Amino acid sequence: MEPRIDYLGTDLGPKFAKYLVSAGRVVADSPLPATTRELVNIRASQLNGCGGCLDMHTKEAARAGESQVRLNLVAAWRETTVFTEAERAALEITEQGCRLADSSGVSDEVWANAAKHFDDEQLLALVAQIALINAFNRLNVLVRQPGGDYRPGQFA
């Protein structure tokens, strides 16, 4: 698969990406655990079919010490025993936050479950991370940015 456009090779692309990355730094500086952020990034990228983001976030999670077992099981998190209750709540709200057109949004039950595990700062950071990865996913899917060539730390 070839990308439709090299958006980082345009005048607008790097400027736009800079603001998305800056938003990501705000969330990274929040009290939301880094492991949870990467699980959210991976699950959203699976749901949205974003090979570029999936490539990046699985490699970054592995570099940060995430186990291969957990990385392999993100897509089937409901049928596993390797995720904490808080991580499961984050994965569930991620799924509903990615599939807004399939339902009436995030259900009150899913929100309440996430709120049991995360304080307001963490919960807002979780929502912001879901929104951010969805923006990156859509950008990369629209331009057909392929995965496979990412090197951990490449955009550090």
pLDDT tens per residue, the chain (156 residues)?
889 999 989 999 999 999 999 999 999 999 999 999 999 999 999 999 999 999 999 999 999 999 999 999 999 999 999 999 999 999 999 999 999 888 888 999 999 999 999 999 999 999 999 999 999 999 999 999 999 999 988 877
pLDDT at 153: 84
- pTM of whole model > 0.85? yes
Report how far residue 98's alpha carbon sits from residue 47's, in angstroms, rounded to the nearest whole number. Answer: 7
Angle at 44 between CA 93 and CA 42, to 5 degrees: 110
Domain parsing of the chain, residue ranges: 33-143
Return the pLDDT at 4: 95
Angle at CA of residue 109, ends 105 and 112, nearest 5°:
105
pLDDT of residue 126: 98
Say what the pLDDT of residue 74 is: 98
* pLDDT, position 71: 97
Q: Cα(first)–Cα(last) distance of the chain, in Å?
A: 25
Q: Does domain 33-143 have CATH number 3.40.50.300?
A: no
